[in-house]
């Protein structure tokens, strides 16, 4: 098993460019199944989850040609909607995303339950209800049996603003007969990317960026070319790494237009950055003092659906808060297992109270110390990397393959910024 060995205390300095957005790349690869014509995707991140999705669509008949390391040509002349390998589907949560496109193009499939991070229960009901509204017949007996003689437009009110359920519904609806309206749709930047990509292929989607999407079904989609935008979660992770090490970095092509809410939240932790075009500059001088509420109360940072503060960034924010002066309550109501990684920060010296599975109180600033750690999931794993970079002494982080499901060449990029991080085989 590979692990990272990190000697903390080195301020990060230099420039870094984020990889393509994992949460856009996965549904975009699934959407390639909707057409028989070639599609070229640029800025594809070379990470484990994306490579697993590649294997999945190849098992369904897609041909993937690497024009270079991050540019792929995908062609699915014939779709083979056979029974999928359950082990393959369990490796990534995003395997659920093939339901919409395969249903739309082939009329059905048998889909084993998806896997993914162990951060709490992640319901699939919203996907099923949306596809049923479009005309699918779906039963479940350890495997989802999904069929439709014909998909038809529908007025769909999602029972939660699920990102992947929105993407599944959109991918099915673009080839459905008639008009579809999706209300309470997720509107994250990666959902917007999927919709813009589908429109390039000939789909007719209006309302992109809002929580109501209007889709006029078409009979077929053509090929096309698309560049995946920067991974905003990676951008903010490097912001956090610079802040906790008292470093100064520039992040190129940072997608700054989508970071305003994150900027507001980090400002409450005493973190500021500057914007130069589409680049983001983290200065070395940071106050790192947690701002109380106007009445003096301990502030609460709470996750919510876009454009609020995203759940995937709360682990990074928690690590940053351990290095800021003051108290703050973090509340992630979405996932019951998201906060459990904080016991590892406590073992490094952080003062944290786990109130319940959804809430923690951080009392900073504390000196962190090197420790032997294990990455429990993608985002918590990266948060532990940040903690190790800030710590006094040496840390060893096992199970780094979890981190590499979402971060491309993370150790190389951190080394280029001056971090003392090495990859070793245990």
**Which of the residues are catalytic?**
117
Distance CA 134, CA 154 (A): 6
Distance CA 373, CA 296 (A): 36
- CA 253-264-93 angle, to 5 degrees, is 65
């Amino acid at each position: 098993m590979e692990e990272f060995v990190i000697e903390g205390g080195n301020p990060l300095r230099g420039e870094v460019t984020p990889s393509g957005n994992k949460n856009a790349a996965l549904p975009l690869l699934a959407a390639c199944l909707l057409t028989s014509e070639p599609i070229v995707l640029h800025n594809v991140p070379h990470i484990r989850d994306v490579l697993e999705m590649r294997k999945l669509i190849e098992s369904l008949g897609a041909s993937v040609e690497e024009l270079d390391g991050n540019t792929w040509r995908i062609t699915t002349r014939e779709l083979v909607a056979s029974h999928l390998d359950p082990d393959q589907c369990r490796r990534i949560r995003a395997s659920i995303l093939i339901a919409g496109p395969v249903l739309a193009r082939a009329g059905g499939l048998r889909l084993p339950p998806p896997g993914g991070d162990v951060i709490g229960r992640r319901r699939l009901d919203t996907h099923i209800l949306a596809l049923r509204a479009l005309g699918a017949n779906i039963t479940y007996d350890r495997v989802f049996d999904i069929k439709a003689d014909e998909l038809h437009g529908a007025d769909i009110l999602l029972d939660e603003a699920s990102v992947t359920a929105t993407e599944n519904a959109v991918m099915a609806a673009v080839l459905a007969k008639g008009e579809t309206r999706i209300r309470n749709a997720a509107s994250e930047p990666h959902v917007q990317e999927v919709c813009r990509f589908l429109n390039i292929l000939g789909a007719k989607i209006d309302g992109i960026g809002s929580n109501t999407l209007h889709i006029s079904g078409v009979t077929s989609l053509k090929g096309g070319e698309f560049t995946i935008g920067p991974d905003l979660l990676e951008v903010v992770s490097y912001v956090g790494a610079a802040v906790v090490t008292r470093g100064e970095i520039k992040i190129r092509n940072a997608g700054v237009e989508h970071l305003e809410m994150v900027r507001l939240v980090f400002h409450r932790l005493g973190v500021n950055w500057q914007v130069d075009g589409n680049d983001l500059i983290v200065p070395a001088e940071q106050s790192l003092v947690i701002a109380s509420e106007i009445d003096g109360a301990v502030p609460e940072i709470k996750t919510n659906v876009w454009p609020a503060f995203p759940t995937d960034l709360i682990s990074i924010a928690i690590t940053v808060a351990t290095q800021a002066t003051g108290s703050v309550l973090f509340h992630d109501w979405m996932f019951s297992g998201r906060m459990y990684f904080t016991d590892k920060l406590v073992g490094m010296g952080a003062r944290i109270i786990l109130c319940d599975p959804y809430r923690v109180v951080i009392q900073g600033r504390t000196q962190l110390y090197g420790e032997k750690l294990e990455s429990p999931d993608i985002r918590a794993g990266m948060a532990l990397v940040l903690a190790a970079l800030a710590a006094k002494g040496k840390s060893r982080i096992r199970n780094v393959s979890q981190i590499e499901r979402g971060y491309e060449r993370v150790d190389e990029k951190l080394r280029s910024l001056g971090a003392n991080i090495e990859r070793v085989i245990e």
